[in-house]
């Protein structure tokens, strides 16, 4: 494939059902960057043979859609994806290569930066090209979100950016998509060498994840014990949500790391975030402050969490949560 040095590529990962799983939310940003460079936004759709994700990409801002189809491109082996992307770049390197925030995309981005000896910016929340400049200026949070830093990788090609989780929303500006390319060559050999031997699901897999949940009930040290999370689970279940927690909780082994929100955990933006017994340290709030509505339950009226909460309840969560559960049940009955 002939790559234009002014193009912006976006790696679009596909889910097992063939739909776009990650990266598609960056196509609007890619289109804006491509316009500034005078190039095209290119969705590199990998892992799907049925074209569903490719069709989605065409509707979300891609000028061109490149389908990387190969039996080798499935599962979680980033080696094969890296080989396929490198193959594509034999025809020339684009100006930038953008990745979403999934575990596979993050790992792949790092591998590509190493392979291509280029610069990488992780967790970007915005990207722009100042007039007269040849480099993308990436904006990313630092110090737990207290400051925003601007970084550039001057002279690097491609400039690699990995988006911060939930920082971008899927756009709807359809552009004409014109091309598909099939991956081939040595991919099946690489896939055989890097075969996944065993997949061990993490404890709790199969439950609604806190990234996907529209309602998240989160507990902090104030919950008091692992058993104390029982009432949070009951509330989350009633609301069709998931249970998350602060670092104080994972440090005490009351909840698994997969439920951790914040600087060292996940960044989520549900419709409703109910913070129970969480003080609101910056390292926690940077992972949930984009939630549409935050309700805080805390017995300390001075707790910083109230500064970002839309609704606050000053009280003991052991009294407030059971009352809330009872009221929801009563209304539903
Ligand atoms: C480098 C670094 C990275 C970090 N990363 C993260 C991270 O990713 N995520 C994270 O969460 N933290 C992180 N932390 C830790 C963070 O600084 C805080 O220490 C942590 O978030 C505090 O957790 P907490 O709010 O549950 O506990 P606390 O700060 O102890 O707050 C407990 C709250 O519960 C209230 N409370 C107590 N009992 C009750 C009750 N019965 N009813 C109602 N309210 C009650 C108290 O008033 C208090 O406000 C990090 C720290 C560092 C240094």
Q: CATH number, domain at 115? A: 3.40.50.620
- Output the six-digit token pair for 236: 């989350």
The verdict on residue 200 lying in a domain is: no
Which residue has the CA at smallest separation from atom 36 of ligand 1? 222
Q: Both tokens of residue 270?
A: 């549900």
Specify the DSSP class assigned to residue 32. Answer: H
Spatial contact of 56 and 21, defined as CB atoms under 8 Å apart: no
For residue 282, give the 3-state DSSP assignment. Answer: helix
For 272-282, what is each residue's pLDDT tens digit? 999 999 999 99
Is the C-beta atom of 232 inside 6 A of ligand 1?
Answer: no
Task: Tell the residue nearest (CA) to atom 52 of ligand 1.
Answer: 283
> Looking at the domain assignment, is residue 276 inside a domain?
yes
Strands 147-151 and 41-46, how do they pair? Answer: unpaired
Residue 48 has pLDDT above 60, yes or no: no
Mean predicted confidence (pLDDT) in 63-74: 73
| Tokens encoding 56 | 């989605």
Q: What is the CA(176)–ligand 1 centre distance, in A?
A: 49
Residue in 298, 305, 309, 322 to alter for ligand 1 test, most ligand atoms within 8 A of Cβ: 298
234 or 58: whose pLDDT is higher?
234
Tell how far the Cα of 281 is from the centroid of ligand 1, in angstroms. Answer: 6
Whether 233 is in the pocket of ligand 1, judged by its Cβ within 6 Å, is no
Distance CA 17, CA 244 (A): 27
Q: Is residue 1 part of a domain?
A: no
**Which atom of ligand 1 is found nearest the CA of 264?**
8
Supply 280's token pair: 């609101």
Do residues 237 and 187 share a domain?
no
Place of tokens 């601007």: 150
Q: Are 68 and 42 in contact (CB under 8 A)?
A: no
Residue 221 beta carbon below 6 angstroms from any ligand 1 atom: yes
Contact 298, 277 (CB under 8 A): yes
Q: Is 265 in the pocket of ligand 1 (CB under 6 A)?
A: yes
The pLDDT of residue 162 = 97
The answer on 282 and 184 residing in a single domain is no
- Is residue 311 one of the residues assigned to a domain? yes
Ligand 1 centre from 270 Cα, in Å? 20
Q: 241 and 179: one domain?
A: no
**In the prediction, which pLDDT does 194 show?**
57
The residue contributing the CA closest to ligand 1 atom 2 is 283
Higher pLDDT, 182 or 59: 59
**Ligand 1 pocket, residue 173 CB under 6 Å:** no
Please give the pLDDT value at position 191. Answer: 59
pLDDT in tens, 114-131: 999 999 999 999 999 998
Crossing angle of helices 103-116 and 78-88, rounded to 10°: 50
Report the pLDDT value the prediction gives residue 50, as an integer from 0 to 100.
67
Report the CATH number at residue 260.
3.40.50.1220
Residue 190 has pLDDT above 70, yes or no: no
Pick from 210-214, 217-221, 297-301: least confident: 210-214
Domain co-membership, 74 together with 150: yes
Mean per-residue pLDDT over the chain, rounded:
87
Closest of 117, 21, 151, 188 to residue 10, by C-alpha:
21
pTM: predicted TM-score of the whole model, two decimal places: 0.69
**52 Cα to the center of ligand 1, angstroms:** 43
Q: Is residue 172 part of a domain?
A: yes
**Same domain (yes/no): 228, 158:** no
Structural domain includes residue 2: no
Q: Per-residue pLDDT for 51 more than 80?
A: no
> Residues 304-321: pLDDT tens digits?
999 999 999 999 999 999
Banded model confidence at residue 193, pLDDT cuts 50, 70, 90:
low
C-alpha of residue 230 to centroid of ligand 1, in Å: 19
Alpha carbon separation from 330 to 92, 171, 239, 276, 325 (Å, rounded): 64, 40, 14, 22, 9
Range of the domain at 136: 8-193
Res 83 pLDDT > 90 = no
Whole-angstrom CA distances from 3 to 7, 57, 96, 121 are 7, 18, 11, 22
pLDDT of residue 152: 95
- The per-residue pLDDT for 204 is 57
Tokens of 51: 């074209």
Bridge partner residues of 127 (DSSP): 138
Task: Answer whether residue 198 shows pLDDT above 70.
Answer: no
DSSP state, residue 297: E
* More confident of the two residues 297 and 58: 297
- What's residue 140's pLDDT? 93
Give the residue-averaged pLDDT of 82-93. 86
pLDDT, position 55 = 78
pLDDT of 327 > 70? The answer is yes
What does the alpha-carbon distance between residue 201 and residue 14 come to, in Å, rounded to a whole number?
A: 19
Torsion of CA 124, 125, 130, 134, to 10 degrees: 30
Closest C-alpha to ligand 1, atom 43 = 298
Please tell me whether residues 231 and 312 are part of one structural domain. yes
One domain, residues 153 and 30: yes
What's the pLDDT at 74?
A: 63
Q: Quote the number of domains for the chain.
A: 2
Distance CA 83, CA 74 (A): 13
């Amino acid at each position: 494939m002939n790559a234009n040095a002014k193009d912006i590529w976006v790696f679009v990962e596909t889910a097992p059902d063939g739909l776009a799983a990650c990266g598609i939310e960056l196509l609007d940003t890619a289109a804006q960057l491509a316009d500034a460079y005078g190039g095209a936004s290119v969705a590199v759709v990998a892992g799907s043979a049925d074209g569903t994700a490719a069709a989605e990409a065409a509707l979300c801002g891609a000028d061109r859609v490149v389908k990387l189809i190969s039996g080798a491109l499935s599962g979680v082996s980033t080696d094969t994806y890296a080989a396929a992307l490198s193959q594509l770049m034999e025809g020339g390197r684009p100006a930038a290569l953008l990745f979403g925030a999934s575990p596979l995309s993050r790992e792949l981005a790092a591998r590509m930066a190493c392979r291509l000896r280029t610069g990488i910016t992780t967790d970007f929340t915005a990207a722009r090209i100042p007039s007269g400049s040849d480099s993308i200026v990436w904006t990313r949070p630092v110090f737990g979100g207290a400051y925003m830093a601007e970084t550039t990788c001057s002279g690097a090609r491609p400039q690699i950016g990995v988006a911060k989780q939930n920082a971008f929303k899927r756009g709807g500006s359809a552009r004409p998509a014109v091309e598909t390319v099939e991956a081939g060559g040595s991919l099946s050999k690489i896939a055989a060498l890097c075969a996944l031997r065993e997949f061990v699901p993490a404890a709790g897999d199969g439950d609604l994840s806190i990234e996907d949940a529209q309602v998240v009930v989160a507990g902090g040290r104030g919950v008091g014990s692992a058993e104390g999370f029982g009432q949070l689970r009951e509330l989350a279940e009633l609301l069709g949500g998931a249970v998350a927690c602060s670092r104080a909780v994972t440090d005490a082994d009351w909840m698994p790391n997969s439920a951790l929100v914040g600087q060292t955990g996940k960044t989520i933006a549900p419709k409703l975030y109910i913070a129970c017994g969480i003080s609101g340290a910056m390292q926690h709030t940077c992972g949930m402050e984009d939630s549409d509505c935050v309700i805080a339950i805390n017995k300390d009226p001075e707790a910083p969490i109230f500064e970002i909460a839309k609704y606050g309840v000053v009280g003991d969560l052991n009294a407030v949560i059971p009352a809330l559960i009872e009221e929801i049940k009563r209304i539903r009955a």
